[in-house]
Amino acid sequence: MKIEDVPQDLKYMKGTVIRDTDYAVDSEGRYQRVMSSGWEPKNLALDIIMEDIDEQCQEILADVRAGKSSPLAYHAARNLMDLDLLADYADIPKRTVRKHFLPEYFAQLDEATLAKYADVLRITVDELKSIPA
């Protein structure tokens, strides 16, 4: 593929600094690293994945509304974080994070712990405590 033919489909990477690295042939026949903003086949695959993630998040959201899970579980899922990853990023033991996914333990969290989770999830503490209507 020539450098000018590298796809630049901005569907998922629009407004972000994220780019794919591809390799293409320059005018002298040498391979060069070229930044790409995505391409249609990858976007189609991402569409399927995002639908699945949204479906999982809706199930967790229903559990939060039913009092079976805490808002932390929902926000972690929205950020593509499972319990293990959230525990690692927040530097909180997995067993403790598992408890915080339950509403009765989440309700008892202090501001420092809430702030730690909010920072990892890149949201405010108020957003962490709430769910979409």
Q: Are 86 and 120 in contact (CB under 8 A)?
A: yes
Q: How many angstroms separate the CA atoms of 103 and 70, rounded?
A: 4
pLDDT tens digit sequence for 30-58: 899 888 777 778 878 888 999 999 999 99
Residue 97: C-alpha distances to residues 10, 53, 79, 100, 128 (Å): 36, 21, 15, 5, 14
Q: How many angstroms separate the CA atoms of 82 and 88, rounded?
A: 10
pLDDT top residue among 62 and 7: 62
pLDDT tens digit sequence for 66-97: 999 999 999 999 999 999 999 999 999 999 99
Residue 57: C-alpha distances to residues 49, 69, 98, 110, 114 (Å): 12, 12, 17, 25, 20
Asked if the model's pLDDT at residue 10 lies above 90, the reply is no
Domains and CATH numbers, the chain: 3-38 (no CATH), 51-129 (1.10.260)
Residues near 125 by beta carbon (within 8 Å), at least 6 away in sequence: 111, 114, 115, 118
Show the tokens assigned to 9.
């489909």
The predicted model scores a pTM of 0.73
